[in-house]
Amino acid sequence: MDSKEKSIGREKFPRAEERFAYERQLLTVGDNYPIAGVDEAGRGPLAGPVAAAAVVFPREWIMEGMPDSLCELNDSKQLSHSKREYFYEELQSRSEVIKAVVMIEAAEIDRLNILRATHLAMVRALEAIALQGVMLRHVLVDGLDVKAISLPHTPLVRGDSKSYSIAAASILAKVERDRLMMEYDQHWPEYGFALHKGYGTKSHLRALKEKGLCPIHRRTFIHLYEQGTLELF
C-alpha cells in the first residue's frame, strides 16, 4: 500500500479510494458478516463525557465504492466544523448505515479512569450495534489494542484517516459530544463549554479558578492538573 499513498502534511494516508482496503480484506472470506469501525472523542478535556461511536457500512459500499456524498469522509480532526456537521447529517440520514454513539459521563470517568472509561464506551457502542440485530465479524479500532472488546478486532494507529468506517465513527462521536457540551453551556454558561467543549483552555482554567468545579468536571483530571502532571491539549 505504501507505493499508492500520497502525503498529506507530514503524515501519509491512503487515497480516498483505498479507505475501504481493510474492510475489503476482511470481507473476502466469503461470508456476509459485517465489519464495524469504532472511534472515540473527548479523552482529553477537563469536563464532560468521553464518547465512542460504532459504524457499519453496507457491504455493497465497501466492495463497490462509497456514495459521492460521503467519498470525502475523513478523520473528524481533519475537517472543518461545517464539514463535520454535513457528514454527521448525511450519515444519520442513511438508514442503510448502522450506527451507535455512547457517552460515559465525568463521574464514571473519575471512578474508572479515562482509559477504562473510553474502552467501556467502545464496548457499549458495539453492544448497541448488536442490539440492532447485527452480528459482527470484525471490528476496526482507532489507536491501540482494546482488550475489553471481545470480538476479533484490529487496532489501526491513525485509523480514522485510513478507514472510512473509523472515520465515520470519529465524526459521529465528535459531533454528538460537541452538541452535548453546547447543551451543558446552557446550564453553566460561566465556563464557556460551547466554545472550548471542556478542554483546558486559558479561559476555561480562569473560570475554574474563579468559579470552582461544576457537576460535569472530571475531578481526577482537575487534581492531576493542579499537581502539574496533566498535559493539556
**H/E/C letters for each residue in the chain?**
CHHHCEEECCEEECCHHHCCHHHHHHHCCCCCCCEEEEEEECCCCCECCEEEEEEECCHHHHHHCCCHHHCCCCCHHHCCHHHHHHHHHHHHHCCCCEEEEEEECHHHHHHHCHHHHHHHHHHHHHHHHHCCCCCCCEEEEECCCCCCCCCCEEEECCHHHCCHHHHHHHHHHHHHHHHHHHHHHHHCHHHCHHHHCCCCCHHHHHHHHHHCCCCCECHHHHHHHHHCCCCCC
Domain count, the chain: 1
Per the CB < 8 A criterion, the answer to whether 49 and 107 are in contact is no
Interatomic CA distance for residues 164 and 211, integer angstroms: 42
Q: Is residue 208 part of a domain?
A: no
Interatomic CA distance for residues 52 and 172, integer angstroms: 8
- pTM for this model (two decimals): 0.89
Per the CB < 8 A criterion, the answer to whether 193 and 48 are in contact is yes
pLDDT of residue 23: 94
Q: Which domain holds residue 49?
A: 2-183
Q: Is residue 119 part of a domain?
A: yes
pLDDT of residue 109: 98
Flag residues of the chain having pLDDT under 50.
Answer: 1-14, 233
pLDDT of residue 5: 31
Q: Is residue 58 part of a domain?
A: yes
pLDDT of residue 10: 31
Give the domain CATH number at 6. 3.30.420.10
Q: Is residue 49 part of a domain?
A: yes
pLDDT of residue 6: 31
The 10s digit of each residue's pLDDT in 154-196 is 999 999 999 999 999 999 999 999 999 999 999 999 999 999 9
